[in-house]
Amino acid sequence: MNRIASFLRISFIVLIGLTWSASGCSQKEDTHPKPKPFTRDQLLNANQADSRRESDVIDSYINHHHLTMSATGTGLRLQFLKKSDKGDSARVGLYATVEYKVSLLDGTVCYSSAKDGRKEFRIGEDHVESGIHEMVLFMKTGDRVTFILPSNRAQGLLGDGDKIPPRAPVLYEMELISLR
C-alpha cells in the first residue's frame, strides 16, 4: 500500500506542477506586439516615392549618356534611332517580329535576339512586358528605337527570376522587323 500511496502522491505533485506551469504560460503578456498593417495611403505614398526615385535614376542615366529621349505618361523613355517612312504601323492584334537587346542600366546585357533569336508576339495580347506593347505601338516596320522601361512597365517588383532583378528599369534596343 505504501508504494501505491507514494505513486499517487508523486502523480498528484506532477499533475499540479504541469497545471501550474501551463496556466502560467497562458497568462504571460505578449512581449512582441503584432505590427499594425499599412494603410492604403501609406502604401500609395511609399509607391509614389519609389517611382520618383526610379524616375530620377533613369533621368540620371539619360543625362550621363547624353541621350535625347521623350517620355510617355507611363514613364517609358524613348528615342528613335531610325525612322521608316514606308513601313506599316503597328496596331493591337497584329503579330510583331522584333530584334532586340535588353540591358540593365549598369550595362549588363540580359537578353538579345543575337543570342536568343527574334521575338514574335501579338500586340496587346501576349505575355511580354506591358512597356513593349506600348512602345511597339509608336513604331512602323523598319523603325529602330532605344527605350527605357521603368520597372513597373518591365519585370516589376519580382524581376524575371533569372537575369532581371526586382524593381529594375531596363534599357531596350529594338527594331520592328515585320507585322502580320
Which uninterrupted H or E stretch holds 12? helix 2-27
Residue pLDDT, tens place only, 32-75: 788 888 898 888 888 888 889 999 999 999 999 999 999 999 99
Q: Is 56 a domain residue?
A: no
Residue pLDDT, tens place only, 73-95: 999 999 999 999 899 999 999 99
pLDDT of 13: 65
pLDDT of 7: 57
> Is residue 9's pLDDT more than 60?
yes
Q: Is 22 a domain residue?
A: no
Question: Does the predicted TM-score (pTM) go above 0.75?
Answer: yes
Residue 85: CATH number of its domain: 3.10.50.40
Q: Is 137 a domain residue?
A: yes
Residue pLDDT, tens place only, 168-180: 999 999 999 999 9
Q: Provide the Cα torsion 161, 114, 77, 40; round to 10°.
A: -10
More confident residue, 4 or 127: 127
Q: Is 3 a domain residue?
A: no
Structural domains of the chain, count? 1
Output the nine-digit C-alpha cell for 132.
513593349
Phi and psi, residue 173, nearest 5°: -120, 125
Nearest to 173 by CA among 111, 114, 102, 105: 102
Q: Is 101 a domain residue?
A: yes
Confidence of residue 10 (pLDDT cuts 50, 70, 90): low
Domain containing 90 equals 69-179
Q: Is 167 a domain residue?
A: yes
Q: Is 76 a domain residue?
A: yes
> Is residue 3's pLDDT more than 80?
no
Q: Is 44 a domain residue?
A: no
